[in-house]
Amino acid sequence: MIRFIASALYLLLYLIITLPLELVLFIIGKFNMPLRDKISMACVKYGGFMVVRKLSGANVIVNGLDNIPSDTACLFVGNHNSFFDVIISYTLMNRPTGFVAKKEFRKYPSLNVWMHFIRCLFIDRKDVKQGMKTILKAVEYLKSGISIFVFPEGTRSKTGEMLPFKEGSMKMAERSGCPIIPVAISNTGVMFENHFPRITKETVVFTFCEPIYTKNLEGENKKHVGQYVQNIIRDTMENVNKPLIS
């Protein structure tokens, strides 16, 4: 319970203390957007999420970072079990990266500003037209060098078993030509969601799989890219991650 209180209080204080910085970054963005992207990423990665990661006590094992191309933006596609999927994933990013998030996050003051600054996209999954606009905006970001991280299940799995991947998310890669990096995430749900509100000290595993280029896929894999990516993540979790945390 102490880890939860410490993490929650830190995030609250961070959002309050950085309010003046948000104004500064807003002004910087009017003249130099790449600089705003760089500063925003550093603030959220090191000042925000890295501290929460430390407070949580998570022992993070990372595999396959060398699978991430250094010269292009990527569409990171991961399974989703916990709020910590986002927090820990962001600490592993080395270039501007936005997450696709539920529209409800727009309601939270200060947090919504930081999410905007790091190029997060908000999606209403019940509105097909708005969802397509989000995909097109993501394509624009990817073509400009900003990576996107998406959880195609659409919500957190409460059982640890993956929900079906929504194929629409894969259109971001198909339309931009960027590589897809499947990300297999294990044991984050055990940290928090399995015994909310306590945060327990756990070993979690993040594996970045080899890049996939949709133009190189054939047959059913090309027709159902989401299922293909999900199978890779499932196989990775079974063959690599679980033995490491057993």
Q: What is the pLDDT of residues 5-62, one digit of tens each?
A: 888 899 999 999 999 999 999 999 999 999 999 999 999 999 999 999 999 988 999 9
Q: What is the pLDDT of residues 187-242, one digit of tens each?
A: 888 888 777 778 888 899 999 999 999 988 888 888 899 999 999 999 998 876 55
Give the closest residue to 150 by CA, choosing from 133, 126, 167: 167
**Beta partners for residue 220, in sequence order:** none
What's the token pair of residue 86?
Answer: 């986002």
pLDDT value of residue 192: 81
Measured at the alpha carbon of residue 24, what is the angle toward residues 18 and 29, in degrees to the nearest 5? Answer: 120
163-172 mean pLDDT: 87
Measured at the alpha carbon of residue 12, what is the angle toward residues 9 and 15, in degrees to the nearest 5? Answer: 150
What is the H or E stretch that residue 8 is in?
A: helix 2-17
Q: Is the pLDDT confidence value at 246 over 50?
A: no
What's 58-245's CATH class?
alpha beta
Domain extent listing, the chain: 58-245
pLDDT value of residue 240: 60
pLDDT value of residue 238: 85
pLDDT value of residue 200: 87
Residue written as tokens 């410490």?
6
pLDDT value of residue 76: 97
Q: What is the pLDDT of residues 120-157, one digit of tens each?
A: 999 877 777 888 889 999 999 999 999 999 999 877 76
Q: What is the pLDDT of residues 78-118, one digit of tens each?
A: 998 888 999 999 999 999 999 998 888 888 889 999 999 99
DSSP 3-state of 145:
coil
DSSP 3-state of 243:
helix
